[in-house]
């Protein structure tokens, strides 16, 4: 059973979400900006998606490389079912570039044996 993969791309106006299973998109969404959400919202959302699909989930959170570390370090976490890693990117990164960076992180997790469940 393959792990779900998510890419989260927060901006000042919205948070974009792409959820993939076996390399195919199964959910795309636009949510309120991450900085306006409840602190428990991101972990709860990802946990719920993992439970819904009955698979572990590895998520990459795009973070502006110019942002101070204190603004994103709290978003790195791991639970029994979910792993979230920040990924430092440029301000004008494309979704394709972001997925490429995410792929690198996911491959690193697999090689290190780091995965939920």
Record the pTM. 0.78
C-alpha to C-alpha distance for 35 and 61, rounded to whole angstroms: 13
pLDDT one-digit tens code per residue, 104-116? 767 776 676 655 5
pLDDT one-digit tens code per residue, 6-55? 988 888 888 889 999 988 899 999 999 888 888 889 999 999 999 999 99
**Alpha helix ranges (H) inside the chain:** 41-53, 95-112
More confident residue, 62 or 45: 45
Q: What are phi and psi of 86, to 5 degrees?
A: -70, 150
Ordered structural domains, the chain, with CATH:
4-112 (3.30.420)
First to last CA, the chain: 11
Please check whether residue 23 is in contact with residue 3, taking contact to mean a CB–CB distance below 8 angstroms: no
pLDDT of residue 9: 85
pLDDT one-digit tens code per residue, 69-104? 656 666 778 888 888 887 777 666 666 777 777 777
Could you tell me what percent of the chain has a pLDDT over 70?
74
Which of 68, 66, 71, 47 has the alpha carbon at shortest distance from 57?
A: 47
């Amino acid at each position: 059973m393959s792990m779900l993969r998510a890419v989260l791309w927060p901006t000042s106006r919205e948070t974009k979400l792409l959820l993939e299973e076996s390399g195919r998109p199964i959910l795309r969404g636009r949510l309120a900006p991450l900085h306006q959400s409840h602190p428990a919202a991101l972990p709860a959302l990802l946990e719920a998606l993992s439970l819904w699909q009955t698979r572990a989930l590895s998520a990459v959170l795009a973070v502006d490389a110019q942002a101070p570390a204190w603004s994103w370090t709290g978003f790195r976490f791991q639970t029994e079912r979910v792993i979230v890693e920040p990924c430092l990117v440029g301000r004008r990164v494309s979704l394709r570039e972001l997925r490429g960076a995410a792929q690198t992180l996911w491959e690193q997790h697999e090689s290190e044996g780091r995965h939920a469940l």
